[in-house]
Amino acid sequence: MGTDHHHDHHHAPAEFNRAFAIGIALNLVFVGVEAFYGWKINSLALLADAGHNLSDVAGLVLAWGAALASKLRPNQRHTYGWQRGTILAAFGNALLLLVAMGALMWEAMGRLISPDPSASAEGATIMVVAGIGIVVNTITALLFMRAGKSDLNIRGAFLHMAADALVSAGVVVAGALTLWMGWAWLDPVTSLLIAAVILVGTWNLFRQSLHLLFDGVPDSIDPQAVHDCLATQSGVSQVSDLHIWAMSTQKIALTAHLVMPEGVGDDAFLENVSALLHDRFDIDHVTLQMGKTPMISGCGNAINACLDTPVIGKLPAH
């Protein structure tokens, strides 16, 4: 006997579609302004911060896209829907950022070796543009503050934008010191520091998204803890064929075979186990197969086919 059970609790509230739209629009405009002035005054610090803010726009788009994708219904050709696209998008975004930040660090090292004395004259422009960034990032973070307390996806957007306000503050400090002290080397040093911060976060995104693309167990899940949770359920003597993977950046799926020698569980048992896995491990999509004997490799085994023939049923989603 088996079950396929879903918990769809990750939809972003409809009213926050507007928050995502406003946040993305504000940051796109600011990225354009910052990149233009960074190019105009030849400031790597502004260009680095523009790249950082562009990555945040991508983060907001991914968060919003994941919320919207979770509402799309699966079809016969895409039985899980299009949710996995969020993982692929995260991987592509991380790959592009790694290349871009590597190129930026290379250019910054060249500026350190051959400093540009004229950079000190542009400290005021750097301060003003980055100061605008502090305002934009703070406003965007505030848009998600309330929902971030209860929605993990929106909380990530909030924390990302709050961190960016701090990065922009660092650019303001660099601009002030460049203006007052005439330190031409400070611009490339600030660029290196900002790029290093971005690379740390981007490397984690790259590693995690690549891991999930190959159906790895999400970092937030302890497979042994899940196994032990299933093994301690009433009537279960063995857990086999346990598989845990990410359907998207927000939804986790599980399949397992439960050996129950004294008789397989009923619908109430399946409902309780699925609810337990969701509440304890945030696993949304649970498929369980139950039988009186362990599964034996090879579908042609007549004894195994007779004693452990699965009956697939579907419980209503909450």
112, burial (CB in 10 Å: exposed 0-12, middle 13-18, buried 19+): middle
Domain limits, the chain: 12-213, 223-314
pLDDT band at residue 113 using 50, 70 and 90 as cut-offs: confident
| Intrachain domains 12-213 and 223-314 with the same fold | no
HSE-CB at 70 with a 13 A cutoff on CA atoms is 25
Cβ contact 248:86 at 8 Å: yes
| pLDDT tens, residue by residue, 214-267 | 999 998 899 999 999 999 998 899 999 999 999 887 789 999 999 998 877 788
The answer regarding whether domain 223-314 maps to CATH 3.40.710.10 reads: no
Length of the chain (residues):
318
What is residue 17's predicted lDDT score, i.e. its pLDDT?
A: 81
Whether the Cβ atoms of residue 252 and residue 12 lie closer than 8 Å to each other: no
Which CATH number is 12-213's, of 3.40.50.12160, 1.20.1510.10, 3.40.720.10, 1.10.10.10? 1.20.1510.10
pLDDT at 45: 67
* pLDDT interval class at 299 (50, 70, 90): very low
154 in Cβ contact with 148 (< 8 Å): yes
Instruction: Answer whether residue 209 shows pLDDT above 60.
Output: yes
